Homo-oligomer: A and B are copies of this chain.
Amino acid sequence: METLDPRTAAQLAFLVEADKLKSIVRANPLVDGSRRENSAEHSWHIALMALVLAERSDEPVDLGRALGLCLVHDLVEIDAGDTPPWDEAGRATKAEREAAAADRLFALLPADQAATFRGWWDEFEAAETPEAKLAHAVDSLAPLIVNHAEGGQLWRDKGRTEADVRARNARLATWVPSLVPVVDALVDDAVAHGWFGEPEPDPEPDGEI
């Protein structure tokens, strides 16, 4: 559409490309178990979580930037796909694949916005600012909240143990410490319901008859 100025045309091209995030399917289910969630609706859900839980941060949070980090944090999955925690081969190349995706996707925007959005994504990845720590906290909590509410089918299907899920949320203590009791309550409740997978049995001792 040559009738649009280049800045607007670039912004629309980025927003149309971003639509593809609606087709990136994650491992986690909807709470009603009807299907797996995609990365666009997950990004909406964690932004809503950040809106509700921002008060738990022990540092002042710029809400606009925190929500911006939530909204852009998974865009790289348009090229790199979702890499669940149990995909060890995928995790070995995740950083490299996602950085290449960020190079391509944010460059669709006008140069000044490309730098700003890429900066937000880098800020999220570094997890050092109060806003990035809040975004990481809700991104880490979201799978626990939805899998717990759904009844833990994914945990049993994938053999995820209590220890796996606690380990996945261990860094909450450095991001938003006041949310650690949420992890404890949900994991304890899931244990009480028997919703986790079984730990792998210890290998049999050599030489025992």
| A contact set with B: CB distance below 8 Å | 1, 3-4, 8, 11-12, 14-16, 18-23, 30-32, 34, 37-38, 40-41, 43-45, 47-49, 51-53, 62-68, 71-72, 109, 113, 145-146, 149, 181-182, 184-186, 188-189
Contact = CB atoms under 8 A, between A and B. Distances in A.
A20 B44 contact: no
Contact of A145 (B15, B41, B49, B109): B15
Contacts of A43: 44
A18 B48 contact: yes
B11 A53 contact: yes
Contacts of A66: 64
Contacts of A22: 30, 37, 41, 45
Contacts of A47: 44, 47, 67, 71
Contacts of A72: 48, 51
Nearest to A8: B182
Top 8 closest pairs, chain A to chain B, by CB = A63-B64, A44-B44, A64-B64, A40-B41, A19-B31, A67-B67, A41-B41, A16-B149
Contacts of A146: 16, 19
Contacts of A8: 181-182
A113 to B, nearest CB: 7
A184 B189 CA distance: 55
Given A18-B48, A67-B71, A185 B145 contact: no
Contact of A64 (B12, B15, B67): B67
Nearest to A68: B51
19 contacts: A4-B181, A11-B53, A15-B49, A16-B145, A16-B146, A19-B30, A19-B31, A19-B32, A19-B149, A20-B32, A21-B44, A23-B32, A40-B40, A40-B45, A43-B44, A44-B44, A63-B63, A67-B67, A67-B71
